[in-house]
Structure 1
Amino acid sequence: MKLFFYRWLALGLALATGFLGFQTWELRRRVADLRDTVALLEQERRELARQAATPVVEKPEQRAELRQQIEQQTSALRGLPFRGPVTYKMISRSELRDVLIRQVREQYTEEEARAYGRCFEALGVIPPGTDLMALFIRLYDEQVGAFYIPQERALYTFQDMSWSAGMDRMILAHELTHALQDQHYDLTKFPLHVKDNDDLALATSALLEGDATVLMTQFYARSAAEGG
């Protein structure tokens, strides 16, 4: 009886030891993953600090060559060729507001904008009396890096962006993914702005933005691995 008990005890100890060993291995793996993530974030922080301290001035021919490289890398990562040249429109930061106002007015009437505003006020999202469209434009004005407009088949960038800077390259890769989507699937046919089904519009936007965000992450990971 004692022998039977000791055998089960030994088996239990072996299983417990194995489980603890697996847990230890899993913990070490997670720590290693976190260290890699921290290293990538630190590299990004240094890159942003470097860009802020030493803005890069590129000649037009340099910009064109670097942009072509980013197009090729984006196409390879996405697995889709560009079917034609991408139309670029370079604007200043001060010109962005006019473009945003035009886009908002094309998508929403004044009455629709007021209706959305009343809805958000009722939900407590914004204070009463807030001009929702003005708020929307101000937020975009502060945060947007570049953007693609399917109706124009055009990719808007800013004059102060540098295609040799890591963050700007990553942003361009994201927007070039939208250009690829448009060339292959025609984004104007997607229900991005349907007014009677917000869930459909949100799901469609999530699909397209998710695609571009995954590629942007892959682009960043490859650039970091290559030291670029």
Structure 2
Amino acid sequence: MFAAALLCLALAAPACRGGGPARPETVPLPDAYRSMLEEVAGVRGLPPPASLRIGVVRREALPALLSEAAHPADVGRAAALDTVYRLLGLLPPGASLAGAEQAMLETAVGALYLPGRREVWLVRDGALPASPRDLEPWEQRLLAHEFVHALQDYHFDIPRLERGAATLDARLALRALLEGDASWTEGQWTARYLLPRLAPGAAVEPPPAAAAPPPALAREAAFQYTTGTEWVSLLRGSDPGALDRLFRAGGPGATALILHPDLTRTGWAPGGAMLPAAPPGPGWTPAGADTLGEFLLASYLQTGLPALAALQGAGGWAADAAQAYAAPGGAALALRVRFSDAKEAGEFAARHRDLLGARAPAVLEEPGQLVATRRDAVTVIQLEPDGAAVTLVFADAEADARALAAFLRNR
């Protein structure tokens, strides 16, 4: 699933490892490869870029290439999201989001595109063959996928789209747009150009990854590549120009629009969830505000619930506000989620109560709140729903969780 990648979507890359292989070189796209690019561009319905470079990188040299190409701003973003993902329990104990995504790239990626640089890379041993037809069939599919990213970058400026995706929810939605478009076009190109000239039984799927990613990141990959592709197919089927208009507008902006395509026709837009701007008190420092979105809320519920129950629990999401803090006893996170109505909020609260029961040895029922300390030592407090809103608190220290919950009650 993660065999093709867009480097700007990696949250960060660790510093270059000293003594690694020299950076491999790219070359202008050879004529045979340009012919393939033109095929892909024809399927996508966009003119091909005037210039594009291609290179081959051995897997052992990939970490250095990733480190060199990573944007410095991504490092700070990844550090902030590490706290959010850890407190939500979306990563195994001791893991970091940046490290987990880096491991996925290093072990699973067979091809990648570097936006801004207009470079396509194939991860393989040996030199670049004279023609793409000399590549393995699955390599040709990956190359077609990366050519779509080159088209997106040339026509819509992927770094601009990334800069405009101001929240975590918007970034996840943009990933689904970029990868869904690339996967849909790759599939159409494969059916039209690749399969008719292959012998029966030819291997068209990439080799399996060396190691499975953490479940939360596997869910994100499935959302990008599978849900995103299905959504793009719906868009193209109903209005062929809708996709390009969406790119020009900066992307969908919310994962709820991808999970519920009918919302687009209603003019729906997220909004209405707020948290106090001031910190809870002395010793508390705000460490970043964000919007998680419906997809990530459902993924959080899936850390202890079946997929269907999690999706139902997150359904009806209308907006959320997340605020991380450096607290006296460690890190803390406040999350206020607003739903379409009180019934949906009550459904989420009930599912979240089930999640706490699955992830904590005990759930304490106290006046106006539920309190549970998960097996990973994070304390979670669920305040009683307030109309269509539900407020959750996560903290490394129980005292901090209780202080933050008391601060947020009635605010």
Amino acid at match of 1:202: L
Residue 184 of structure 1, aligned match among 155, 159, 169 = 155
Q: Distance in 2 between matches of 1:166 and 1:101?
A: 29
Q: Distance in 1 between matches of 2:196 and 2:165?
A: 45
Amino acid at match of 1:167: W
Amino acid at match of 2:179: E
Matched residue of 1:125: which SS?
A: coil
Mapped contact 2:165–2:174 kept (Cα < 8 A): no
Task: State the partner residue of 1:100.
Answer: 66
Task: State the partner residue of 2:189.
Answer: 219
Q: Per residue, is there more helix in 1 or in 2?
A: 1
Mapped contact 2:145–2:182 kept (Cα < 8 A): yes
Mapped contact 1:104–1:133 kept (Cα < 8 A): no
Mapped contact 1:148–1:154 kept (Cα < 8 A): yes
Task: State the partner residue of 1:84.
Answer: 50
Amino acid at match of 2:49: R
**Deviations along 1:54-76, whole A, 9 cap, x unmatched?**
xxxxxxxxx94542332121122
Q: Distance in 2 between matches of 1:83 and 1:196?
A: 28
- Name the TM-score, length of structure 1 as normaliser: 0.62
Does 1:152 find its partner at 2:149? no
Mapped contact 2:82–2:97 kept (Cα < 8 A): yes
**Deviations along 1:108-155, whole A, 9 cap, x unmatched?**
235x43332222222222233223322221111111111111122211
Q: 1:97 to 1:81 in 2, by over 3 A?
A: same
Mapped contact 1:70–1:169 kept (Cα < 8 A): no
Task: State the partner residue of 2:146.
Answer: 175
Amino acid at match of 1:126: L
CA shift, 1:176, in A, is 0.5
Deviates more, 1:64-73 or 1:131-140: 64-73
Q: Distance in 2 between matches of 1:159 and 1:113?
A: 28
CA shift, 1:227, in A, is 2.9
Amino acid at match of 1:212: A
**Deviations along 1:55-107, whole A, 9 cap, x unmatched?**
xxxxxxxx945423321211221122223121123222112111223444524
Task: State the partner residue of 1:72.
Answer: 38
Matched residue of 1:108: which SS?
A: helix
Q: Identity of counterpart residues, as a percentage?
A: 28
Task: State the partner residue of 1:131.
Answer: 96
Q: Per residue, is there more strand in 1 or in 2?
A: 2
Q: 1:226 to 1:200 in 2, by over 3 A?
A: same
Q: Distance in 1 between matches of 2:99 and 2:83?
A: 14
Structure possessing the higher radius of gyration over alpha carbons: 1
Q: For this pair of structures, how many residues does the alignment match? A: 164
Q: Distance in 1 between matches of 2:73 and 2:92?
A: 23
Q: 1:152 to 1:130 in 2, by over 3 A?
A: same
Q: Distance in 1 between matches of 2:156 and 2:138?
A: 27
Q: Distance in 1 between matches of 2:171 and 2:116?
A: 16
Matched residue of 2:50: which SS?
A: coil
Q: Distance in 2 between matches of 1:216 and 1:153?
A: 19
Q: Distance in 2 between matches of 1:101 and 1:169?
A: 26
CA shift, 1:213, in A, is 0.8
Does 1:209 find its partner at 2:172? no
Mapped contact 1:178–1:212 kept (Cα < 8 A): yes
Task: State the partner residue of 2:326.
Answer: none
Q: Which has the higher contact order (CA 8 A, sep 6+)?
A: 1
Q: Distance in 2 between matches of 1:128 and 1:207?
A: 31
Mapped contact 2:110–2:124 kept (Cα < 8 A): no
Q: 1:74 to 1:183 in 2, by over 3 A?
A: same
Task: State the partner residue of 1:7.
Answer: none
The unaligned stretches of length 5 or more in structure 2 are 1-28, 199-411
Q: 1:131 to 1:186 in 2, by over 3 A?
A: closer
